[in-house]
Amino acid sequence: MTSMTADQMSTLFVQIASYRDPELIPTLHDLVNRAEFSGRLRIVVSWQHGTDETLGGFFLEGFQKWRLQPDQPFCVHTFELRGATVELIDIPHELSQGACWARNLIQQRYQGETYTLQLDSHHRFVPHWDTQLIAMQEQLRARSPKPLLTAYLPAYTPAAPHPGDQGASAALGMRFDRFTPESPIFFRAFELPEWQSLPEPVPARFYSGHFTFADGSFAREVQHDPEYFFHGEEISLAVRAYTHGYDLYHPHRNLAWHEYSREGRPKFWDDHDGNARDAGRVSQAWWERNARSLARNRALFGMEDASAPAAEAPEAKYGFGQARTLADYEAYAGISFSDRAVQPEVIACQPPGAGAPLSDPASWRSTLRRSHDLHISAHRSVFDIQACTQATQVRVRALRADGSVLHEDTATIESSRSHCKNDWFDRRLAFLCDLSEQPAAYQIAALDANQTVLAKFEKALTA
């Protein structure tokens, strides 16, 4: 008898949250078909579906050996697909409470698998993605007892040929973009420098909600807070994982692709609006859940905002771990949550841990750059771009209290007109500045080809 390899003996608990997504079945097929050992996969899906999405679609697409497990609050359908087990938590979409709630439901079904992989329901994969992920994970054991692989993935288009047929895609990392006024950090992807020659995964600051691989115990130890709605998920899990002793890494090879647009398909905020709430189809409008979620995130990080809804910090189960502190993460990542600021190394996408340690807090704070994200708006009665027929550019500025320019951005008139809707010019101005600096007003100006100001509007910012 041939002995089984470690890869064959390992099991994977794959977590997929799906909301009314026609890409779910193609994603499941590609996930299973491109695994080297599909029989070791146990895939659990929060299947948040409409009345037009039925089990018949799974039977027609080759899912076999259906079994029904009556359960509360939702029954579970189990199929087999090329040796993999696929469990669908049957959730009528009107009963959904958001993405993090759906992910938490999945995590309650963890059964001690060796590894876990968290995904969305719109992905494509490279051949043998499973054994490659395990190899990366085990390669890191000498550096970390609890490595966690995570990344934003390159994009694919469902109607296009499989992205894997086009050759290797660059390995991507996650970089800081900005703090939002509501509190979460936004991220962007960037190509890992010289990724082709990297011998192993590289240290990361941040966590991707659509691609995370770790030891299976992560699904039990650091579960999604079901009271979170959407924004805030990724930064909260990055810090919670770190404080539970996990070390974050970006894979040095790309192993999958993700669809970002989901154009033309219903989303949670389309279905769970005020009309649906008032008609009794859903219990709450999406923005009600979102406001409480953002307040909960601010409470977790001690970023209280007197103008926003208050909330209690999450209970211990969904709070920080005991292996490290929030201050440890801030020193590692080069971020100050209370200041909404980051170190220059973060902006430059340098490896984490490159900044001054918190043992010298004064020196550390002196390097920080505060993140601002201003909401710039003006009614056409005070600033009418359409009336500026000679304009070629629109300039927006953040001003200091003395009227001097703190930051400015200039865009073409065509681009600026895309920000006009329902008689309002509306856009964001995101920038970084020294901690000692604070914008006091914003200014909008239409310019002609000679940089002559044709129209201008200025508004003071409230404290």
pLDDT at 240 over 70: yes
Residues 6+ apart with CB under 8 A from 341: 335, 368, 369, 370, 371, 435
Amino acid at 235: I
Mean pLDDT of 174-192: 91
pLDDT at position 362 is: 80
Give the pair of three-digit tokens for residue 217.
């115990």
pLDDT one-digit tens code per residue, 285-332: 988 998 889 999 999 998 876 555 556 677 889 999 999 999 999 999
pLDDT at position 322 is: 95
pLDDT at position 385 is: 86
pLDDT at position 3 is: 42
Q: List the one residue out of 181, 167, 185 whose CA is nearest residue 235.
A: 185
**Are the C-beta atoms of residues 347 and 417 closer than 8 Å to each other?**
no
**Are the C-beta atoms of residues 18 and 45 closer than 8 Å to each other?**
yes
pLDDT at 220 over 90: yes
Weakest mean pLDDT among 10-19, 203-212, 358-367, 409-418: 358-367
pLDDT at position 307 is: 57
> How much of the chain exceeds pLDDT 90, in percent?
73
CA dist., res. 110 & res. 12, Å (int): 10
pLDDT at position 53 is: 93
pLDDT at 355 over 60: no
Give the pair of three-digit tokens for residue 38.
């599909």
DSSP assignment, residue 2?
A: P
CA dist., res. 18 & res. 46, Å (int): 6
Amino acid at 271: D
pLDDT at position 449 is: 92
Query: Which domains, from first to last, does the chain contain?
Result: 6-258 (3.90.550.10), 371-460 (2.60.40)
pTM: 0.89
pLDDT at 7 over 70: no
pLDDT at position 203 is: 97
Strand partners, 85: 42, 80
Mean pLDDT (the chain) is 91
